[in-house]
A and B are shown apart, each in its own frame.
Chain A
């Protein structure tokens, strides 16, 4: 069974840092691009970042560019999101998501497996 399990969320002060992890199982992790998508309380979905499967090319939303870093360790089947300079508006449930293709820039791409999410709260 394909599973994604996020961890690392919590309460952090504005300006602080947090690293999210996502443990993947049930599929060949290195063959697929992976994404982070967030959802602020009571709001819609926002794509945050994505990384290709094997060449590790990375892509970011403008709202997090320069502050967040997505990475992956294919030997550990784990996806990461390093979040620095956190702001109140980064408060959200962060989902780890598997893409259908191995490369992010495929236009036919979509997100077929979602984790349950980990909550990040940025507040003093």
Chain B
């Protein structure tokens, strides 16, 4: 199975900050990497697919990049509604695997 490792596991930030979350795959996965946001008590929502494509309706302050094994999710101008947990997930092969999550908290 492909192991997905996110860093950091948690971070503290303020409204208006730029936040960068990293996801590393245990083997090369081209650009087949997706990002999800989950708020407490809610189901996850997709933000980014195929590493850098913004899902419909997702604000442009979210962006993704990366290729091979190293990927990043960037949140520019952090908004109050962005405090949540973020997960990466590879779709390169089966089984699909997720990172352990990164919790973005209020500083």
Chain A residues in contact with chain B, CB under 8 A?
A: 35, 44-47, 50, 59-62, 95, 100, 104-112, 114-117
Contact = CB atoms under 8 A, between A and B. Distances in A.
A108 B51 CA distance: 10
Given A108-B49, A108-B91, A47 B43 contact: no
Given A107-B91, A116-B43, 18 more contacts: A44-B87, A44-B100, A45-B87, A45-B98, A46-B98, A47-B97, A50-B94, A62-B1, A107-B32, A107-B93, A108-B32, A110-B34, A110-B46, A110-B55, A111-B34, A111-B89, A112-B55, A115-B43
Contact of B89 (A107, A108, A110): A110
A60 B34 CA distance: 19
B44 A114 contact: yes
Contacts, number: 63
B95 A111 contact: no
B96 interface: yes
A59 B94 contact: yes
B30 A107 contact: yes
Interface in B66-107: 87, 89, 91-101
Chain B interface bracket (under 10, 10 to 19, 20 to 34, 35 or more): 20 to 34
Task: Say what secondary structure dominates the interface of chain A.
Answer: loop
B50 interface: yes
B39 interface: no
Nearest to A109: B91
B45 interface: yes
Nearest to B97: A47
A104 B96 CA distance: 10
Query: Which 10 pairs show the lowest CB-CB distances between chains A and B?
Result: A114-B43, A47-B96, A110-B49, A110-B34, A45-B98, A44-B101, A107-B32, A61-B95, A59-B94, A44-B100
Nearest to A117: B43
A108 to B, nearest CB: 6
A78 to B, nearest CB: 19
Contacts of B46: 110-112
A114 B45 contact: yes
A108 B50 CA distance: 6
Nearest to A104: B94
